[in-house]
Amino acid sequence: MTEHLKSSIVGETIQSWCNVCHRQTEDRVYAVSTTNSAGKPGPCLEHGPKVNAQGETKRQELARKKREQDTANPPLFGDAK
């Protein structure tokens, strides 16, 4: 179970175990929810988050951008790609 921290340290950095680095690293504390007063350690600051601001991985982000580009530039006159 993950640890829950005081809301007064949200935005601060703490030492926490990183499952990727397999050691204690610096993590930023973020709010669990707007109605709850607890904080939770975020991703390791040494290797960075694995997702972007929308919660997408690199593969998902590239796929979304390709879909957006394909819908913005549809093939003309029935040309198949």
β-bridge mates for residue 6, sequence order: 38
Residue 32 lies in a domain: yes
Q: How confident is the model at residue 80 (pLDDT cuts 50, 70, 90)?
A: low
Domain assignment present for 38: yes
Q: How far apart are CA 76 and CA 55, in angstroms?
A: 34
pLDDT 10s digits, 28-65: 888 877 677 788 888 788 776 666 666 677 888 999 99
Please state the pTM of the whole predicted model: 0.48
**45 lies in some domain:** yes
8 A C-beta contact, residue 33 and residue 7: no
54 lies in some domain: yes
Q: What span, in angstroms and rounded, lies between the C-alpha atoms of 56 and 33?
A: 20
Q: List the end-to-end C-alpha distance of the chain, in Å, as a whole number.
A: 48
Query: What domain range is 65 assigned to?
Result: 5-72
Would 79 be classed as within a structural domain?
A: no
User: Average pLDDT, whole number, for the chain?
Assistant: 79
Q: Does some domain include residue 78?
A: no
Provide the domain count of the chain.
1
